[in-house]
Structure 1
Amino acid sequence: MHIAISGNIGSGKTTLTTLLAKHYGWLPKYETVAENPYLDLFYKDMKRWAFNLEVFFLKERFKDVLDIAQSGKTIVQDRSIFEGVHIFSANNKDMGNLDERDFDTYMELFDIMTSLVDAPDLLVYLRASVPHLVENIRRRGRDYEQSIPIAYLENLNRRYESFVVEKYPGKVLVIDVDNLDFLQNPTDFAGIIDRIDAELFGLFPDERSNQLV
């Protein structure tokens, strides 16, 4: 089984991936972020480095999907190959960071790759407002993230809403996280678990899950 955790930069994807892996005994699969040699360059000059950045991420995500398909284990993944393309790459194109030629080449690669793999069994989307994202980004203190433009986060948020509703080919669970602290508050985390159990195993969530929507 394959569960993907989806959400904008600073929404808590990695934290939730870690917590779910520990709770269920699933194998976590984390996004290759720090290892991307173009990330710091991209935030300094998005137009120059966007294509390099996106191709590196696409390559890594495709490797991850192949590993997941061949593992025979239940995997919880920090960000899927689908949102990497339909949200981040499409956003870079619309912002002028990717020209038409480069984007078409990139999409041809994506289409070939995704013809060989299945969508996750469940996509858990962590919906967060831009102020919430900014605060989380500030708190975790990654140098290369501190210069992210607010407009960039706003554009990504709009694309997440469109992607989750209109483009994603599989099952989606939406969790609003602005008023949750699932790392420090066991009740918040238990509510998320209830809703995931309901989606995956047909169990009915208890009243705590009503606080999440």
Structure 2
Amino acid sequence: MKKPFIAVEGPIGVGKSSLADKLSQSYNYYHEKEIVNENPFLSDFYEDISKWSFQTEMFFLCNRYKQFQDIATLHSGIVSDYHIYKNKIFAHNTLTHTEYNKFSRIYDILTEDLEMPNIIIFLDADLEVLKARIAHRNRSFEHQIEDNYLLNLKRDYNAYYQSLKNDGERVMRIDTTHLDFVKHNDDYQYILNLLQSLIGGKIHE
């Protein structure tokens, strides 16, 4: 049986890293953390998406590729706060048609032999909740994110979830609009109960 490899996904500000961190502690899995602040193009990207999108997306793709390579050698369970496929979701919303075609070919080459997550948790929330959470974490480069950008990400994540669900993959979607699993243990326990049949495994006390 393959080791559990969980990816937590969803639009910006939905709580992916927070949930991945809590799940890694509950199940005693390795936590694979997404590299964000280290991207040197990110601030420029949010100021001028059309100018800096290709550099930004290529930086993320190369780093995530290397991270997925490294964690493939682990024997323990893994919970990651991203799926490398998110590169295609974000690139689809930021690159021109020509750039996206080039990017997609590079993505396919890099990922053709990577071990991919076998369990994917999709988090979602209403737009106003996402905006409030983004404002609360107060990353300077995220202050300029536009509503339409977030709405497009929500749309594309939901489409990806539906496609995986239709293919019979082990996926689950959780609306966190009225949940605060960081501050309220009851909300976190609710999520754990939802995931137990999907993830299985023993919760680490």
TM-score, length of structure 1 as denominator length = 0.88
- Larger RCO: 1 or 2 (CA < 8 Å, sep 6+): 2
Secondary structure in 1 aligned to 2:181?
coil
Counterpart for residue 101 of structure 2: 104
Contact 1:41 1:49 (8 Å CA) reproduced: yes
1:77 CA displacement: 0.4
Partner Cα distance (1:161, 1:201) in 2? 24
Partner Cα distance (1:155, 1:45) in 2? 17
1:167 CA displacement: 5.3
**Count of residues paired in the alignment:** 197
Contact 2:46 2:144 (8 Å CA) reproduced: yes
Partner Cα distance (1:123, 1:52) in 2? 27
Partner Cα distance (2:87, 2:77) in 1? 21
2:138 to 138, 141, 159: 141
Contact 1:2 1:68 (8 Å CA) reproduced: no
The answer for unaligned runs of 5 or more in structure 2 is none
Counterpart for residue 52 of structure 1: 55
Contact 1:6 1:123 (8 Å CA) reproduced: yes
Q: Partner letter of residue 110 of structure 1? A: Y
Partner Cα distance (1:127, 1:28) in 2? 21
Partner Cα distance (1:202, 1:38) in 2? 39
Partner Cα distance (2:63, 2:8) in 1? 16
Counterpart for residue 65 of structure 1: 68
The answer for unaligned runs of 5 or more in structure 1 is 93-97, 204-213
**1:100-139 equivalence runs, <5 A:** 100-139=97-136
Counterpart for residue 150 of structure 2: 153
Partner Cα distance (2:164, 2:110) in 1? 17
Counterpart for residue 31 of structure 2: 28
Greater helix content: 1
